[in-house]
Structure 1
Amino acid sequence: MSDSQNNSVAFVATEVIPQSPPPARETGVVKWLRENLFSSVTNGVLTVVALYLIYLVLAATLPWIFNGIWTTSSLSECREVLQGKTGACFSVLTERWHQLIYGFKYPADAYWRPNLAFVLMLVAIAPVLFFDLPRKLLLFTAVYPFIAFWLIWGGTILAPLVVFVGFVAAAVVFQKFGRSSFAVGFFGGIAVALVVWTVGGALIPDGASDNALLPAVPSRDLGGFMLNLMLGVTCVSLSIPLGIALALGRQSDMPLIKGICVVFIEFIRGVPLITLLFVASVMLAYFFPPESTVDLFLRVVIMITMFSAAYIAEVIRGGLAALPKGQYEAADSLGLDYPQAMRLIILPQALKISIPGIVNVAVGLFKDTTLVSVISMFDLVGMIRGPILASTEWNGVYWELFGFAALLFFVVCYGISQYSQWLERKLHKGH
């Protein structure tokens, strides 16, 4: 061997070589743009065209928005201030905001009542939407509908109190007899509630509303976006349990129950909602006793709830059909009866699967509340099309009003959509 080979010593690295930074095109904004907007020639062309269209829209709308006028009292004054320049007349929003939110008949000194009801609603629905909160808060959720009714409509507090006592009595009867026989507990609870409401209503003196803590406000004075929120929240809250009952009834082995549910669902789904609203406005009162005066708001709630429940029933039926047969067999092997199996095993899984469909129906229902304007209920759209545009001061203002309405509906519907996506991630529906 040579001397150089004898004297060579192996070298062992004592430190880790530092990592080299990734190429510029594989990190940061450049990577995102390359993968999402310019991943191919076709996508690159479409991205450029879309950006150009967005530029055209913004170039036309941003000056109109930034040059908007907020302080005038009529459309003619807005045009005088603008002096031919492009600009929006947002003054209609600042002057008529109370009509857009509360309607044009709700007492101005009572605006705090629906505002307080809205804040309390957020507290009441919190334990329902976010199930990590203490379950004791559900007690306030159960009481909230009666508090909200008294705040918004006013009058004597005895009326919502009697209804609340009726519901409590029905719950007690169902809790006692429902374990042995679901039908006996359910119909017995309804019978007890009706008796309590009838007796309690007869005991309320006729002049009770005159000495009430809050002045009474008739339903015909409700309006604006407040009416849309009330209809949306009420009908969605009522239609989900009714839809669950209809879905279970359609899958029942009892021919009579199944037939009634099938006929109801298919009939309601085959009729436009606007037709049902006309029925609520004109014909539904004939189905009640002659001496009774059923409020139009209640009639509309009944029809919209029936309409929404029929669609929710089909969504939940799809969730029930998606469950493997082994889940039903597992419930039978545990010795669970039908109510226990549905409550503990079947429905929790079916409702998880049905979340996107239920949210879709809820969003559509909230937007469909604007249809009540065709039966002379002045909701947000009804206020815009009726009293505001009919006035001489604001006749001709369209984009500002309907844009404001679209913004309000977008905020609510987008919030519902984001909550549903959070709920799906929370429940790990895909695992």
Structure 2
Amino acid sequence: MQDTFQPIAPRSVPGASGGVIAWFKNNLFSNPVNSIMTVIMLAAVLFTLSQATSWSLTHAVFGADLEACNSARGIGACWGVIAEKGRLILLGLYPQEEQWRPVVATSLMLGVVALSCMPAFWNKSLLIMWPTMLVVYFTLMKGGVLGLVEVSTDQWGGLPLTVMLTVIAMTLAFPLAIMVALGRRSNMPAIRTLCTLYVELIRGVPLITILFMASFMLPLFMPSGTNIDVLIRVVVGITLFSAAYMAEVVRGGLQALPKGQTEAAATLGLTFWQTQRKIVMPQALTTVVPSLMNTFIGMFKDTSLVTIVSLYDLTGAVGLALNSDADWRPFKMEGLFFIAAIYFAFCFAMSRYSLWVEKRTAVSKSR
């Protein structure tokens, strides 16, 4: 007997398995406990945001009005301290009538760094831009020529000093790190031992100790009458410290490279340095881009330690500007938030550029 087809009653549409609502349901409101915790955390976040907005915007004082700032103390932020002390925070002790010079010099340095990050300028033009930029930078900052008033290095400070220390130390430390990384993999025991001792010695000592020794102890071992500028000693100390950490990052990239790459280069008759320049280094460095950028970011923030040797970078300039003024000293927190925003802007830009380089190298590897 043949069965007769009987249609079933229509069913309701099933709940959405994707989308924002489904994600919230599966991850934040999947059970009663998760739902309660989500509500509590959401209430805490909203309360914190409302308090932060009230302090930083709603009840804040934006003008350089000391009386208004004192009245709003504990209720709202006094951003007027930035208007009042911003010049000293950003430029340090540099003479006020000459402060156009560090502004121009720092803008030039950052401009050349930005151009160096663009593939269109990855050619021999960099060999002209960088020496020219450095000559112009130190001519403007130091003065003493072309009718410029001479300004000693102990008056350099603020953002120009932070940027200069980072850029110079980064530029010098990177090639040194490559040479040390190659030395640690050398077949010559003397070179390998020397590079290993350098890395282990530097990594075993805090940066603040190296800066202290370079600034105060090194002159004791110099011949009588010999005086090396403290800024040069600080740059050398930061460079040696950063190069040791960077060398280990580069060595990790070298060890990650298959041995067949160098063997193939040898069969083609390439010399050691040709192999390193054309085969090994391009692949090894692209492998460790995130770690290298992490080292650069750490170096940028570590420049704040130069305050220990009486060089007032961006962080030291805040204390210099506010600790010496009893009227504005209570609003040091706002000054610290201000420089924190500057540090974050630079670090975030470096991080974004690192991601761009990673994506660019990933495309080249997939071809």
TM-score > 0.5 by shorter chain: yes
RMSD: 2.4
Corresponding residue for 2:79? Answer: 90
> What is the distance in 2 between the residues matched to 1:350 and 1:254?
22
Counterpart CA distance in 2 for 1:44 and 1:349 is 48
Alpha-carbon distance in 2 for matches of 1:356, 1:222: 32
Deviation at 1:265, TM superposition (A): 0.5
Match of 2:5 in 1: none
213 and 39 in structure 1: CA distance in 2 versus 1, 3 angstrom threshold:
farther
Deviation at 1:110, TM superposition (A): 2.1
Q: Which residue matches 2:114?
A: 126
Deviations along 1:310-337, one digit per CA (max 9) or x if unpaired, are 0000000000000111011011111111
Q: Given the alignment, which residue of 250, 258, 262 partners 1:328?
A: 262
User: TM-score normalized by structure 2?
Assistant: 0.88
Residue matched to 2:61 = 69
Mapped to 2, the partners of 1:279 and 1:154 lie a distance apart of 29
| 1:155 maps to amino acid | G
Instruction: Tell me how far 1:413 sits from its aligned partner.
Output: 0.7
- The 8 Å contact of residues 89 and 321 in structure 2, kept in 1 or not, is answered as no
What corresponds to 1:302 in structure 2?
A: 236
Give the Å deviation of 1:145. 1.4
Deviation for aligned residue 1:23: 8.7
Q: C-alpha offsets along residues 16-43 of structure 1, whole Å, 9 cap, x if unaligned?
A: xxxxxx99946664456557x5484476
* Structure 2 stretches lacking a partner, 5+ long: 1-12
Counterpart residue number, 2:102: 114
Report if aligned partners of 1:72, 1:91 keep a CA contact under 8 Å in 2.
yes
Identity of aligned residues (%): 38
Alignment-derived partner of residue 7 in structure 2: none
**2: CA distance between counterparts of 1:92 and 1:72?**
6
2:320 corresponds to which of 368, 380, 386: 386
The 1:23–1:106 alpha-carbon spacing in structure 2 relative to 1, beyond 3 Å, is farther
Residues 57, 336 of structure 1: alpha-carbon distance in 2 compared, 3 angstrom cutoff: same
1:136 is displaced (CA, Å) by 5.1
CA contact (8 A) 1:24 1:30 kept: no
Local SS of the residue matching 2:319: helix
Separation of aligned partners in 1, 2:165 and 2:34: 44
SS in 2 for 1:428: helix
Contact 2:89 2:158 in 1 (8 A): yes
Query: Residues 73 and 393 of structure 1 are in contact (CA less than 8 Å); yes or no, is this contact kept in structure 2?
Result: no
Q: Does 1:314 align with 2:253?
A: no
- SS of 2:328's partner is coil
After TM superposition, list the pairs within 5 Å mapping 1:25-40 onto structure 2: 25=16, 29-30=20-21, 33=24, 37-38=27-28, 40=30
In the alignment, the residues of structure 2 paired with residue 331 and residue 287 of structure 1 have an alpha-carbon distance, to the nearest angstrom, of 47
1:228 equivalent in structure 2: 162
Deviation at 1:287, TM superposition (A): 4.7
Q: In the alignment, is residue 419 of structure 1 matched against residue 353 of structure 2?
A: yes
Residue in 2 that maps onto 1:285: 219
Which position in structure 2 is the counterpart of 1:161?
A: none
Is 1:106–1:223's contact at 8 Å kept on the other side of the alignment? yes
Query: In structure 2, how many angstroms separate the alpha carbons of the residues matched to 1:344 and 1:367?
Result: 33
Where in structure 2 are the equivalents of 1:59-208 lying within 5 Å? Answer: 59-66=50-57, 67-74=59-66, 76-80=67-71, 82=72, 86-103=75-92, 105-133=93-121, 135=123, 137-138=125-126, 139-156=128-145
Alignment match, 1:58:
49
Describe the SS at the equivalent of 1:71. coil
* CA displacement, residues 184-216 of structure 1 (integer Å, 9 cap, x when unaligned): xxxxxxxxxxxxxxxxxxxxxxxxxxxx33221
CA distance in 1, matches of 2:298, 2:289: 14
Structure 2 distance, partners of 1:39, 1:358, is 40
C-alpha distance in 2 between matches for 1:146 and 1:40: 63
1:114-164 CA-partner distances (Å, limit 9, x unpaired): 2222332233223431223463531213421122111222223xxxxxxxx
CA distance in structure 2 between the partners assigned to 1:355 and 1:23 by the alignment: 47
CA distance in 2, matches of 1:248, 1:48: 55
After the TM superposition, which of the residue ranges 111-120 and 415-424 deviates more from structure 2?
111-120
Displacement of 1:382 in angstroms is 1.6
Counterpart Cα distance in 1 of 2:112 and 2:64: 40
CA–CA distance in 2 between the matches of 1:344 and 1:296?
39
Greater shift in the superposed pair: 334-343 or 140-149: 140-149
Matches of residues 359-398 of structure 1 in structure 2 within 5 Å?
359-398=293-332
Look up the SS of the partner of 2:353 in the other structure.
helix
Asked if 1 retains the 8 angstrom alpha-carbon contact of 2:28 and 2:35, the reply is: yes
**CA shift digits 1:212-247 (9 cap, x unpaired):** 332211100011222212111211121111111110
- Measured at CA, do residues 383 and 325 of structure 1 come closer, stay the same or move farther in structure 2, by a change above 3 Å? same
Aligned counterpart, 2:9: none
Letter in 1 for 2:81: V
- How far is 1:375 from its partner? 2.0
State how far apart, in whole Å, the 2-side matches of 1:248 and 1:46 are: 53
The structure-2 alpha-carbon separation of the partners of 1:150 and 1:47, relative to structure 1 and needing over 3 Å to count, comes to: farther
Cα contact 1:243–1:313 (8 A) shared by 2? yes
* Aligned residue runs from structure 1 range 331-350, under 5 A: 331-350=265-284
Higher relative CO (Cα under 8 Å, sequence separation at least 6) belongs to 2
- Give the equivalent residue in structure 2 for 1:207: none
Counterparts of 2:74 and 2:336 in 1: how far apart (Å)?
Answer: 21
For these two proteins, the number of residue pairs brought into alignment is: 350
Displacement after TM superposition at 1:284 (Å): 2.1
Displacement after TM superposition at 1:91 (Å): 1.2
Which residue is equivalent to 2:178? 244
